[in-house]
Amino acid sequence: MNYTLSQIQSIIGGKLIGDSNLRIIGVGSINNAAPGDITFIKDEAFVDRIQKTNASAVVVHRVIDGAKKPLIVVDNPFLAFSKFLAVISKEKQKRPTGIHPTAIISKNALIGKDISIGAYVVIEDDVKVGDRVTIYPNVFVGHDSTIGDDSIIYPNVTIREEVIIGKRAIIHAGTVIGDDGFGYLQARPERSEGSPPTCRRHVKIPQVGTVEIGDDVEIGANVTIARAALDKTVIGRGVKIDNHSHIAHNVIIGEDSMLIAYAKIAGGAVIGKNVMIAEDVGVTDHAKIGDNCVIGGGSNVFKKSLEPGSIVWGSPAKPINLEKRIQALIKKLPQMMESLRELSKKIG
């Protein structure tokens, strides 16, 4: 990369203070940036680091008196810096060009304009791929599926049949969308009169539904999103799902919700809009999580519903302040036990 500060300011906005022609050749954190890099500070707590950083320029939230290097002053430095990172990220990624000769594409598939399809991709009958879609090597797209404009599908993703993916979706390597939901009935096989009882067997329920993913969704690596038994599993617009998460059959996730790594959502659960689910959370089947809820890391939601705006933590999940009190009391249990022993000796 090679940008002048003036070029960077035109990308992120704000007010430039200092040499507008200064050349920037890299980016780095405030602590680890090198000469030639640009960095940023999030807020007032990091102001003192400006004088210590080796970066050649800093994106800041206000004018810093006595700063000895150029500044770009913006309202939200982190957000502004992210805009610049998005630009250089596109430059670093080597997008496949055209359609690789080893790709297998059905004659019945509808392929949009300015498509990039990598090596050994398989696209089955009646698939619809929008304009400017990038599909990296070894991706499988099942029949009658749809991928919206400007989406990016990274290597080794499996998209099963009849899945709908919206515009500008990003799906990272190793993810599987539309695998069968884990649906079984326990039943005893028929037996003749007088014969001993037999063990119950697991009878598979055919999963004939689908998955529908909205616009601007990003799905991490090695995520599994199961198709519905009937109807559809729905991932709403703007949802972000982190690596190694599992979304079971018939789940509905509302717009702009975020699921951090190892989230486990059981079948039929309904997650509202703008919900934050932290790492390693489990949500029981058919639970209903209201809009704007926050579920703390490692929690298990066994209740069938959480009211909108709930902030919970623990296993089972409970109001966060209550869980904090419980955790504080647990730490005091050995001391309390010793006190009870001493009291028992005095009484006895």
286 belongs to the catalytic site: no
Of the candidates 133, 124, 118, 119, the one whose C-alpha atom is nearest the C-alpha of residue 106 is: 124
* Residue 19 contacts residue 1 (beta carbons within 8 Å): no
> What residues are paired with 311 via a beta bridge?
294
Catalytic residue among 61, 172, 246, 249: 249
Query: What's the rounded Cα separation, in Å, for the pair 282 and 316?
Result: 10
Helix (H, G, I), strand (E, B) or coil at 128: strand
Count of CA atoms in the C-beta half-sphere (13 A) of 218: 9
Integer Cα distance of 60 and 42 in angstroms? 7
Q: ω into residue 35 within 30 of 0, thus cis? A: no
Full DSSP string of 287-317: -EE-TT-EE-TT-EE-SSEE-TT-EEETTTT
Q: Which of 21, 87, 18 is nearest to 58 (CA)?
A: 18
> How many CB atoms within 10 Å of residue 48?
10
Among candidate residues 155, 312, 176, 291, the one with its CA nearest the CA of residue 236: 291
Catalytic sites, residue numbers:
249
